[in-house]
Structure formats: structure tokens, C-alpha cells
Amino acid sequence: MTPDDARTLLLGALNPAQQSAVSAPQAHRLVLAGAGSGKTRVLTHRLAWLVAIERLSPQSVLAVTFTNKAAAEMRGRLEQLLRVPVSALWVGTFHGIAHRMLRLHYKDAGLPQNFQILDADDQLRLVKRLLKNLDLPDDQWPPRAVAGFINARKEDGQRAGNLPETADFVAHTYRRIYQAYEAQCNQNGLVDFAELLLRAYELCRDNADIQAHYRRRFRHILVDEFQDTNHLQYQWLRTLAGDTGILFAVGDDDQSIYSWRGARVEHMLQLTRELPQCDVVRLEQNYRSTATILGAANSLIARNQGRLGKELWTAGNDGELIQRFEAFTDLDEAEFVVHRIRDGMNSGRPLSHHAILYRTSAQSRVMEEALIRAGTQYRIYGGLRFFERAEIKDVLAWLRLLHNRDDDVSFERAVGAPPRGIGATSLDKLRRAAHDGGISLWQAATQATPATLGRTAKALGELIALVDQIAGKTKHETLGALTETVIRDSGLRAHFDKDRSEQGEGRRENLDELINATRGFEPLLSDDTEIDPLTAFLTHAALEAGERQSGPGEDCVQLMTLHAAKGLEFPVVFLVGLEQGLFPSQRTIDEGHLEEERRLCYVGITRAREQLYLTHSGSRRIHGVQQSCVPSQFLREIDPSFVAETRPRAGVLHAPAMRGGPQLLRGGAAVMPDAAHGLHIGMRVSHSKFGEGTVLNFDGEGPGARVEVNFKRDGAKWLMLAYAKLHPAG
């Protein structure tokens, strides 16, 4: 290939800004690549340019990505562009590059030649074993939290010996665990993911010969998703580059949404300060979304301070206005979304063109149930369906055990949820005793003695007493109250409260959503004498969990959190739950992370190619109680010229929802039936006993019609319309 042919191949399909970045002189460069602006293409073409046009050796270039998928795609594109094998190129993830380096220099890194990598599960098992050796109980020192602490310290470049001595018991104990963990890993030749990078960084920082070698070798270092680098990754890159290496960093400060796992958006600005000669190139032309969607995204993100600044635009058409819909309840919101999806499908759109994005994974439950009722295929992207999540299965196991003490499967799960010192060996003995006696595990546990099971017999006795105690105190409680009691008294709530990570918060939110599910399940069953509510709900949960989730290749609606949506795009996007305290979340508001929440909303908006729906509810069941909601401030921050409000439309009612929610024939919110005494959803009413409230929902027709009212003082209640004597509030 001639140089002219190479230039045409590498620059011909690029816009002027992309061409400028790809063909720029050999100097430090920060490429601000907006959503949908072709950053991967620019990064790949830049590397190819250095080899094909600048005539650099492939061995003198290092390219770092954040995912193996991105690295594989880059290698494939490079082979097509360069038309030669690229095996000599160092292209990979941070961890992949670090691993390659440590294999080459294992002696200098203080590692055995055959060192082994610990994956997340292996690391967790090792932590559990260490805690046991240190006589630290799992319930007080949750293994996931401990592993998270160790990984976080490593990502900050801190060894156990670097942590300060302190009189604080918790800090002292964590330091002690970290020391024991390091010693065990060194003794056994084990390296976890965080250790890979820390050890590689220390190798390059502390060994002058190796440092000099890689600085001579890697004249150019290209980095993708630079806004997601943590402290250790940034320091390693700067160490590798030194004063002679040239950094070509591609990223988007407006899409930095991972501070909770160590990412620091400040690194983009820091790079320009530390390297004053670093040029900034902006990629602002978007190839994904309509002008209307981009205009909304620009107007929102402009509220953030300290941005490096860019304005997305497109050569495409304006597209449709963004649709904003305010539902009466979260159930109504879900029905609206499902009906819009069905409308799209009836118009010829595949289900896979639709994505539902939400702030927390717990929000998926209401959406899942609406999709299941409509018979619409769906898939949880990058996660489990609601009733398949571990913490939900833990609670269901306790509920099943309360319902049937001889349920061995539920007994085995409840024994370890949360951990209570009953190990695998003791459980094996219990299984053998049950098998030999032809009895259930519960019965075998009641017969356990110190002579047969040692100290475990006491723990089993305490578990049995606890189950019986919960059963006694909840005998006359509602299903929702029973579930709340089980979550609290079993120790599950306290167990997950100890995990302050993002994952721990998600688990707690899922527990609250399960309470919502059980409280919402009650209305339909209140008059049913043939089956008790607990049996009915457990059956419902089992059937929903048993529903096959659509596979990756099937035509189905995509459901995912906003964090999981980064890097993806869809023709139609529903961004749901836009309420203050939910999105932005109250925790991020309290902790002063509002700008990152705004960036997360920006990411959600820019996932849409053609149509975008922004939805929120006037009320939502939170912690088992129906509560009024305030629209998210992000809705006010979007330029209203890009938004049209979709008003609820009256529809013909379907059969009542499982939880008594409104059902519609086609898009819009439900209205009260004719027999509803002139009431309508959203109406302010007064009751002689409960005072003033707002009509939220209704169920049934004629003499059996009921209404749900959210009272200021007593919360949400279901009332028989024939006897409620509700009056318009004055």
C-alpha cells in the first residue's frame, strides 16, 4: 500500500475533527470525544496512522482499553487497516497489559514464575478463610466488604504497611486483615485483579532498569475511556510515559459516572495541567441521535461546572420531540411504557429497538411485571431478573421455611442467610442424619446435640428458636408486615447494611422493593378465602422466577440500569423514574455528587437514536408505603423547546392488575369507572376518619369497587367505595 493509499484509507471516511486527531503531529493530545462521535474509530485510526504513515514500529506503541471486547475490536480493525497481523502490538486492558508485564518480569516483581490469578469468587473464598483463621465472624466482617476494602486500598496504591496505625478498632482490624491477606497471597503465589495493576505499577516505579526499558520501547501510549481511570491507573500511565513518552488520551468528561469504583474525572483536567503542551481536540459531531435529543442533552449537561466543554451536534434531522409523561403511580408508569412498546411493535418496530433505563436495579420489578402481564419478551441486560437476585432468594427462603419447616432447600439457604457459623461440614453431617432417619433437615436440626454436631448444635438451636419466634409474632400480620419482619429479624437487613458499597446499596433497595411487592400484593387477595396470601405470593414469585428470560439473540425489550447502558444505543429509549430523591438519588444529593448524577442522566439521554421518553410518577411505593413524588430537577434543567408533554388518555380497563394497579387498553393513564361515584385518580378527597388524601388507584366495578387513597396522616389505604363516604377535599 502506497502512502497516499494509506492516507486515503485512514482519513477518507473521517470528518474534519476526526482527521485532525488522527493525523496530528507526534505530541501529547487529549481527545474530548462526545457520545456517538466515533471515538473508537479515531483511536484505532490514530494507531494505524502511527504505524503506516509515521513509520513507527508496532512494538513502540501501547494501546490500553477498559474491556477485553474493546481490545479485541481494536485488534480486528487494525488488521483490516494495516493488512498485516498485529500480534506484535501491545493492545489490551489495564489488567491484561499488567499481567503480560508481570509474566515477563516475575522475578523483579517478587513473584513465582507460575503465579496464579485470583478471580472475584476465589478472592472472596480466600477472605472467608482468613476471617475464620482470625476468629472474625462473617456477620460482623462481611467478606464482600472486606474484599472491597482491600481492592480499594490497592487501587489507591496503598499496601497494608502504608496504612497508619490507629487506635480505632475497625480501622485497626481492617489493617490486620489486609496484612494477613497479603501474607497469604505472597506465600501461595496468588495475585488478585487489583494486585496485577499495583504490582505492575510498583515494578515500573521502583526498578530503574525496567522503567527505562519500557520508556524507550513505548514511544506512544494510547488510552481509551480516559475519564474512567482511577488513581493507580493514572499514576501507572504517567510512570510509563515519563518525560519522553507521548500520551494520546481519548475520553468524555461528561460521561464520567464511575466515581463509586474509583474513577476520577479530574484526571482529564490534571493531564492538561501536568502536560502544558497537551493539545485538546473536540469531537462534537454525533452520528447516533437526532438534533432534538442532542439539544436536550447539551442543555442539561451545561449545568455542570468545571467541564472542559463541548457541544454535540448532528448533520441529521431534528427528529421527534422528546415525550415527557407524568403517571399517577409507578404502576401506571409501567403500563404506559409497555403500551408504547406494544404500539411500536404493532407499527413494525422490533422489540429489541426498545430499552427501558432506570437508576436502580430495584425499579425493574414493576416494569418486569407489566411486561409479563402483557406477554412481552424482555431481557435484563447485565443482570438478573428481580426474583432471581440472591438477596431476594434469601428472603423467599425464610418465607418458605416459615410456611413449611420441612422444606429442605429453603432450610439450607436460610442457614447461611445471613451467615451464622453453620459451616459446610456441619451441614453435611446434618444431611446424613436426615437421610439416615428419613426426616427433614429441620427435624434433624431439632435433634442435634453437642455430642453429634459440637458447637454447631447451639447455632442450630438458636436458628430454630428464631424461626419459631418470627412465626409467633407474625401470626396475624399482613403479608407486607410479615416480609418486613422477616427481613429485619432474620438479620438480613443488618447484614446488608454493613456493606456500604454501591452493590450493597442496590441489595438494600431490592429488599425494600420486595416489601413493596408484598404490600402491593395484598389488595387482590384481601377477600380471597381459598388461598392464604403467603402461599399465593410464594407461588407468584416462583412462577415469575421460572419465566424464561429472553436470550441475547432473541427479539426482546432491553431493561438495564443507567450504568449498564453506557456504550450502548437504541432507537427508542424510556428513561423512567425521573423523580427527586430517586434520580437524582438522595444519597448523591446528600454527598454532594449531583454533577455525576447529571452526567448519568446525560448518558441515558444520549443512548436514544430516534425517540426518547422521560417518565415519572406522582406517587411511588417506597419502603412499602405509597408516597407522593416530586419531578426530578433534571426535567426542569432540560430546555423545554425540545420536550412535549404526553397527557394521560382515558382507556378501556383490562382485568385488574395483580396488585390492584390500573390497566389500559392503549397508552395513557386509567380513569375511574362510571360507578366510582365521580372520583378520579389524582383527586383530593376527604374521609371522616383518615382525613385528607389523594386518590391513587382503583380495582373492580359495581358494588365491589375499591379505591386506593394516599392519606396525609395514615399513608395509602384501600377502601370499599360503597362504604368509604369520600368527599372532594375543600
Cα–Cα distance measured from residue 730 to residue 728, given in angstroms and rounded to the nearest whole number = 6
Other beta carbons less than 10 A from residue 541's beta carbon: 22
> 47 CB contacts (<8 Å, ≥6 apart)?
61, 63, 74, 78, 89, 91, 222
Catalytic residue (one of 138, 192, 224, 484): 224
* Pair 294, 317: CB distance under 8 Å: no
Q: Does the active-site annotation cover 513?
A: no
Residues in the chain: 730
Q: Give the active site residue among 138, 192, 225, 595.
A: 225
Q: How many CB atoms lie within 10 A of CB 68?
A: 12
224 is catalytic: yes
> Hey, how many other C-beta atoms are within 10 angstroms of the C-beta on 284?
17
Q: Is 607 a catalytic residue?
A: yes
For the chain, state the CA radius of gyration: 29
Helix (H) or strand (E) holding 487: helix 479-489
CA atoms within 13 A of residue 579's CA, in its CB half-sphere: 25
What would the grid cell of residue 658 be? 395483580
State how far the Cα of 467 lies from the Cα of 55, in Å rounded to an integer.
73
Name the pairing type of β-strands 570-575 and 608-622.
parallel
**Rounded Cα–Cα distance for residues 632 and 711 (Å):** 23
69 is catalytic: no
Pick the catalytic residue from 18, 29, 39, 379.
39
Distance from C-alpha of 442 to C-alpha of 465, rounded to nearest angstrom: 12
Active-site annotation holds for 712: no
Q: Which residue has the cell 513502540?
A: 60
Rounded distance between C-alpha atoms, residue 576 and residue 617, angstroms: 9
What residues have CB less than 8 Å from 237, skipping those under 6 apart? 64, 221, 223, 229, 247
**From the candidates 40, 227, 474, 611, which is the catalytic residue?**
40
Which residues touch 460 (CB under 8 Å, ≥6 apart)? 422, 430, 445, 448, 453
Which of 77, 288, 340, 607 is labelled catalytic?
607
477: nearest Cα among 409, 399, 396, 411: 399
Catalytic residue among 44, 65, 227, 255: 255
Our answer to whether residue 5 is catalytic in this structure is no
Helix locations, 136-219, DSSP H? 143-155, 169-188, 193-206, 208-217
Residues designated catalytic: 39-40, 224-225, 255, 607
